[in-house]
């Protein structure tokens, strides 16, 4: 092999290695800024930008304009059957959530569990003019103090619910203190499960209201979807009457769209396999 060919081959290998390192870094968090990726990989920012543009062109990565950060797309599942399903769920949820917020005005948040809290994986705050917060993305919210956490925990299997509660009973955070009262916690979760939605503790959050519903995939609980509103603009009962059906519909649409995309993915994979076999 000639010297220039060896150099080109070596550079190609380095490019692949850098792309793999970048994908691994993107997989560590829901959203990554260019600075995050620079810190995680040690790669120069110009190199990262070139790699990100290549991955974007391949449908593996997208830049979320709302947050000025990058995240993996659901198509990355095609790289491995064992790839986590979270990116697809977040992709689907965010799209439907944005439609709701643009139509109704109130922001939505989609949360998924992480050990001792529900973590906000998608938020539509940037798509509303209401100044509730700059962003809730990545926030860890209490399983017992917030509507998102309550909606998820109430719909867990008994064994999963017990495991989460055992963990947060060791928490010293004030918002988790309800978990210390086993009977009160069970009553609250039973009520949430029976009514199909959860509300936020109004005593600790007097300025805003919150409600949330569970989100399922093929009958399996995967997260929760919640809405926040200004208490001065709408009483709790009005919010429940008007928005519980709408939020529930969005959650149902998320579940249906995830299933539709998974079937399409399987169908495409099967056709590809048949072509290779032929």
What residue spans define the domains of the chain? 3-79, 86-263
Lowest average pLDDT, out of 117-131, 142-156, 199-213, 263-277, goes to: 263-277
The pLDDT confidence band at residue 213, using thresholds 50, 70 and 90, is very high
pLDDT for residue 151 is more than 50: yes
CA distances from 19 to 15, 129, 141, 188 (A): 6, 37, 33, 47
Q: Does domain 3-79 have CATH number 1.10.10.10?
A: yes
pLDDT for residue 150 is more than 90: yes
Residue 267 has a pLDDT of 62
256 in helix, strand or coil? helix
Lowest average pLDDT, out of 81-95, 139-153, 162-176, goes to: 81-95
Q: Which percentage of the chain shows pLDDT scores above 90?
A: 47
- Fold adopted by 86-263: Beta-Lactamase (3.30.450)
- Distance, CA of 119 to CA of 109 (rounded, Å): 10
- Distance, CA of 43 to CA of 228 (rounded, Å): 39
Task: Read off the pLDDT of residues 31-60 as tens digits, 9 standing for 90 and up.
Answer: 788 888 999 899 999 999 999 999 888 888
CA geometry: angle at 101 spanning 137 and 231, to 5°?
80
- Distance, CA of 74 to CA of 264 (rounded, Å): 12
Residue 82 has a pLDDT of 42
Please provide the average confidence, as pLDDT, over all residues in the chain: 83
Task: Read off the pLDDT of residues 113-124 as tens digits, 9 standing for 90 and up.
Answer: 988 899 999 999
- Distance, CA of 32 to CA of 63 (rounded, Å): 9
Intrachain domains 3-79 and 86-263 with the same fold: no
Q: How many residues comprise the chain?
A: 278
The pTM of the full predicted model, rounded to 2 decimals, is: 0.69
More confident residue, 32 or 167: 167
Residue pair 124/101 in contact (Cβ under 8 Å)? The answer is yes
Over residues 232-240, the mean pLDDT reads 94
Residue pair 158/121 in contact (Cβ under 8 Å)? The answer is no
Residue 109 has a pLDDT of 95
Residue pair 35/70 in contact (Cβ under 8 Å)? The answer is no
Nearest to 144 by CA among 120, 123, 161: 161
Q: Which percentage of the chain shows pLDDT scores above 70?
A: 82
For 162-167, the CB contacts below 8 A with 24+ separation are 164/113, 164/116, 167/115, 167/116
Residue pair 165/150 in contact (Cβ under 8 Å)? The answer is no
- Distance, CA of 106 to CA of 101 (rounded, Å): 5
């Amino acid at each position: 092999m000639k010297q220039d060919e060896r150099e080109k081959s070596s550079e190609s290998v380095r490019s692949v290695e850098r792309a793999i390192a970048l994908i691994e870094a993107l997989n560590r968090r829901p959203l990554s800024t260019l600075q995050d990726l620079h810190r995680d990989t040690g790669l120069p920012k110009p190199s990262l930008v070139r790699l990100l543009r290549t991955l974007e062109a391949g449908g593996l990565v997208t830049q979320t304009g709302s947050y000025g950060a990058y995240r993996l797309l659901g198509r990355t599942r095609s790289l491995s059957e064992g790839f986590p399903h979270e990116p697809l769920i977040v992709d689907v949820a965010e799209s439907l959530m944005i439609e709701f917020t643009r139509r109704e005005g109130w922001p939505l948040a989609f949360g998924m569990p992480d050990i001792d809290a529900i973590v906000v994986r998608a938020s539509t705050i940037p798509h509303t003019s209401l100044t509730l917060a700059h962003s809730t993305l990545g926030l860890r919210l209490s399983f017992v103090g917030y509507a998102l956490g309550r909606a998820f925990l109430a719909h867990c299997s008994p064994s999963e619910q017990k495991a989460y509660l055992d963990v947060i009973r060791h928490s010293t955070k004030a918002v988790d203190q309800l978990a210390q009262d086993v009977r009160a916690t069970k009553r609250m979760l039973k009520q949430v499960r029976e009514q199909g939605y959860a509300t936020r503790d109004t005593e600790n959050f007097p300025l805003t209201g919150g409600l949330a519903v569970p989100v399922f995939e093929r009958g399996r609980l995967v997260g929760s979807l919640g809405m926040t509103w200004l208490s001065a603009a709408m009483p709790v009962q009005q919010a429940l009457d008007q928005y519980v059906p709408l939020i529930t519909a969005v959650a149902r649409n998320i579940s249906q769209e995830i299933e539709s995309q998974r079937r399409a993915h399987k169908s495409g994979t099967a056709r590809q396999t048949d072509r290779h076999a032929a």
